[in-house]
Structure 1
Amino acid sequence: MSNDVRFFSRLTIEQVEEGHELAPKFDADGLLPCVTTAHGTGEVLMLGYMNAEALKKTILTGEAHYWSRSRKVLWHKGATSGLVQKVEELRIDDDQDAIWLRVSVNGDASCHVGYRSCFYRSIPMGEGPDERTLQYEESEKSFDPKVVYGDAPNPTIL
């Protein structure tokens, strides 16, 4: 078994959209957006980004790796928190410029803020005030981030 994953060159629309060759199209920053959902429920857990190295490591290890745009580092999801995302299914979209992971999570949470999903708030719709008050859709945290990460400021927020 090879220790590397090689991507094909993008040659034709037919090859990319209908072929069997993995030829991802990374953006100008070398990234692909990655939607991550819970394997069992389909709930959206997070949106992250992968560079070529993160995609290769995800394929080879079966665990999610991402590129942190704010910290400019590769990260293995759950390496610090223990909330490792085991990839049950990895898909790429039709023009190979976005990834979808279906994962099982040890500890059943994926958000560094402590909630199960990073999408724990909703935005009210319809006419009303110009400023919107976010509504919490998860009533409690799955874990205490201060216990897991310590009291240091969150390095993922600019």
Structure 2
Amino acid sequence: MTWTPLPITALHTLLNMVQFNEHGLISAIAQDSEGHVLMLAWMNREALTETLQTGRVCYYSRSRKKLWRKGEISGQEQHLLAAALDCDADCLLLTVQQKGVACHTGRRSCFYKSITPSGLVSLTEPDIQPEYLYGKDVSA
């Protein structure tokens, strides 16, 4: 399964349907082809447009206030396989081919902390050390 870019008229119709929040953003959940949730990030109109046109997943970094092409620093890219919009048109579900790990902590998924009566429990160890991906400690 590979992503086929939308025709420009269909792309504009879709973008006009999307309910971006007051900051011009929409949440985007990334999952792999087996349905395992990898991460949640944000997209603005430009990031969503680029993603739907190229098939390379692009997010909007709220902390850096700029586009963030997943894997541009770490090499852990995401390529779009399928995309769905929820019933309110305010959340995206992206099915992606994940190269390597999705989480900046070096884990496959960002959802590795289980909430238990005794507190948070880490379910997995990193597959790769964050300092190897980024050249600094970002494990927090």
Q: Which runs of 5+ in 1 are unaligned?
A: 9-20, 126-131
Residue 7 of structure 1 is matched in structure 2 by: 12
Pairs within 5 Å for 1:69-148 = 69-107=62-100, 109-125=101-117, 133-138=119-124, 140-148=125-133
Give the SS at the match of 2:116.
coil
Q: Which runs of 5+ in 2 are unaligned?
A: none
Q: Are the equivalent residues in 2 in contact too, given 1:87–1:104 (CA < 8 A)?
A: yes
Higher strand content, 1 or 2: 2
How much does 1:3 deviate?
A: 7.5
One of 6, 18, 21 as aligned partner of 1:27: 21
Distance 2:121 2:9 in 1: 44
Q: Deviations over 1:28-55 (max 9, x none)?
A: 000001111111x211100101000000
Higher helix content, 1 or 2: 2
Give the SS at the match of 1:112.
coil
- Residue identity over aligned pairs, in percent, reads 38
Q: 1:67 to 1:5 in 2, by over 3 A?
A: farther
TM-score (norm 1): 0.76
Q: Are the equivalent residues in 2 in contact too, given 1:86–1:104 (CA < 8 A)?
A: yes
Give the SS at the match of 1:104.
strand
Distance 1:61 1:6 in 2: 12
TM-score (norm 2): 0.85
Amino acid of the structure 2 residue aligned with 1:55: L
Give the SS at the match of 1:36.
strand
Amino acid of the structure 1 residue aligned with 2:134: Y
